[in-house]
Amino acid sequence: MATTAAVPIDVLTDVVRERARAEAREVALMLEFRDRELERIEAEAESPMRRLVERGAIALAIGEAMGFSEGQVQHRLSFADTVRDHSPTTWNAFTDGRIDLARVREIGHTISQLKRAESVHRLDAKVVEYAETHTVAELRAWLKRFVRRVEADLATERAEDERAKRHVSVQHGDDSMGFLGAYLPSHELAAVADRLRKEARRPADPGDNRTVAQREADLVAAWLLGSDVAEGVIDANIGVTIDADVLAGANPGFAESTDGTWGVPAAWIAAVIASGSTFWHRIVVDPVSDDVLAHEYVGRFAPDVLNIALRFLYGTCQGPGCVVPAERCDIDHRVPWPHGPTRGDNLGPLCRRHHTYKGHGLLHWSTRPQPERPAA
């Protein structure tokens, strides 16, 4: 993380570890009861039908004892089984209280996605270190990037299969309202969201009392129905990172959003570039210092090109565990201006809340931030 809170609260950390250990014991006892019951049923049940029925009733018995539904029990047993059997490092961290049930669930779901034993071993070796120091939302994004990187060829196949299922749905509800949904490639959805955000937040006419959400809804309807309201809309500004060998087609891989929430096969982005209809920024990172911008600007406020580059580089607010997209953040000086320069290595995105914390001394920039990406 690029920033840290001013005062650590060790007693809360201890409570969190105690809770995680309790969750681990709870899940371990569920697995133990399930395993004993399976052995008993196999030894005592007289017919295949009886064995089937009794096996199905195990989740019911556990649920009644713990106040869970059968579905909740089966869900927990499923991902706990997966982690216990395939990721011993994660399971040990869970029983030690270093990671909690929510993180174990995310890791278990990711293991289920991976198809190669080597990929699971690599995940087991790396994931605990990250999971211990990041939020569940950050871990979820990291795991998605991990899958795209270590099994890029299989992830690309799945993406192509899903792309073939794109569709639009309309559902009429109560009170003369309804829902419009679209299942589309992530980079197209990101462009739509960016375009909506910019247009809806343009200065409104004095008599326009609509909320931003209402203006966004009206814009979607206007665009789809061909209304004049849609004219003159700003183009989307989307940042992705692609390894050079992947962009060149030498290796399979993904274009990943700067905030880590989505990724699409690099070939999809290459097709957009080839169309010639899009203006692209190319950001070159120094392989030694990770400095992305060596130019220094006079004055407190950085020019637009520097702001865009910084937002593309970091993706999200650099506050601890914050996932607010960088385009909705302020660009903050690590060393305050005028003592600190308006230069790429002294700037980074902070959401308004974390920017306020930093201004009041409750949050501090730590070491020079480096966007974290799971190694392939």
Residue range 73-92, pLDDT digits in tens: 999 999 999 999 999 999 99
> What pTM value is reported for the model?
0.72
What pLDDT is recorded for position 150?
A: 92
Q: How many domains would you assign to the chain? A: 3
Q: 44 and 121: one domain?
A: yes
The Cα 104–Cα 125 span in angstroms is: 14
Q: Is pLDDT at 165 greater than 50 in this prediction?
A: yes
- How buried is 187 (Cβ within 10 angstroms: 0-12 exposed, 13-18 middle, 19+ buried)? buried
Range of the domain at 349: 296-365
Residue 326's CB: how many other CB atoms inside 10 A? Answer: 25
Dihedral through CA 372, CA 130, CA 123, CA 140, nearest 10? -80
The Cα 336–Cα 35 span in angstroms is: 60
Q: 233 and 114: one domain?
A: no
One-letter amino acid for residue 277 of the chain: S
Q: 42 and 129: one domain?
A: yes
Q: Is pLDDT at 20 greater than 70 in this prediction?
A: yes
Q: 13 and 129: one domain?
A: yes
The Cα 165–Cα 274 span in angstroms is: 24
Asked whether residue 61 is domain-assigned, the answer is: yes
Q: 202 and 314: one domain?
A: no
Residue range 233-248, pLDDT digits in tens: 345 666 777 777 777 7
Alpha helices in 97-201 (DSSP H): 101-113, 117-131, 136-150, 152-163, 186-200
Query: Any idea what the CATH number is for the domain that residue 313 is in?
Result: 1.10.30
The proportion of the chain whose per-residue pLDDT surpasses 70, expressed as a percent, equals 85
